Chain A
Amino acid sequence: DAKTTQPPSMDCAEGRAANLPCNHSTISGNEYVYWYRQIHSQGPQYIIHGLKNNETNEMASLIITEDRKSSTLILPHATLRDTAVYYCIVRVTNAGNNRKLIWGLGTSLAVNP
C-alpha cells in the first residue's frame, strides 16, 4: 500500500545537516509529497510539503527531483530534539477528489551529541 520507501534508520551529529532520502517512484502528477515526524509515539508533527518545486520553511527544506521519483528532507542544523521517526508521505486523490495521506514505515533519525 505504501507509495514511499525510506531507509529504516539514520544517524546524524548534532549541529550538522541531516539529509533524509525518500523514493516515491510511482507518484502521480497531482500527488503531493508530505513530511511529518513523530517523537516517541506522540502525535505526528507537520514539517513541510511540496508538489514539484523545492520548498523551504523555518523547520526544513524539501528537495524534489525533476522527475519527482524521489525527494530529500534537509534539517539544516540538527539538534538532539530532532531525534524522531520521519515519515515521507504521498497524498493521493481519489475519483471523488478526496485526499488522504499514504504513510510508509519512516526513518528513525538519531541525532548524537
Chain B
Amino acid sequence: NAGVMQNPRHLVRRRGQEARLRCSPMKGHSHVYWYRQLPEEGLKFMVYLQKENIIDESGMPKERFSAEFPKEGPSILRIQQVVRGDSAAYFCASSPSGTAERGYTFGSGTRLTVV
C-alpha cells in the first residue's frame, strides 16, 4: 500500500529551463494538492486538482506555472523558464475526498534547485 509518490526527489535546473514534478496519489485517492515550502517556512498552497479538473488554483503564480491531473497517470506540476526564486521544496498531498475526514497524506517532496 504505497503512499503518495513524488519524483524526482531532487531536481537541478538551470535558469530558463523547464521543471516537471510528478505526483502519484495514494491508491483510491482522486484529490491532489500541491504545496510549496521555502526554507524555514511553512507550506504554501498552490493548486487543488481532481481527475482531469483543476478545482482551485488560487495559490499558483499566474505565469510559468501549470498543473494537470490526467485521467491516467500522475499529476504533473510544470514550471517553465525557471528562475532562482523557484528553488524550494514542492510537496504533493492526496485525499480520497474533498472533505478529507482522515487528513491529507503527503509525499516526500521534490527539492528543486535552480542554478
Contact = CB atoms under 8 A, between A and B. Distances in A.
12 contacts: A1-B44, A36-B106, A43-B107, A43-B109, A45-B106, A87-B43, A89-B42, A96-B55, A99-B100, A101-B43, A101-B45, A101-B104
Given A2-B42, A87-B42, A106-B42, A100 B106 contact: no
**Interface size range on A against B:** 20 to 34
Nearest to B104: A46
4 A-B pairs closest in CB distance: A103-B42, A46-B103, A43-B106, A98-B56
B25 to A, nearest CB: 13
**Interface size range on B against A:** 20 to 34
Given A41-B89, A94-B56, A94-B58, A100 B45 contact: yes
A99 B108 contact: no
B16 interface: no
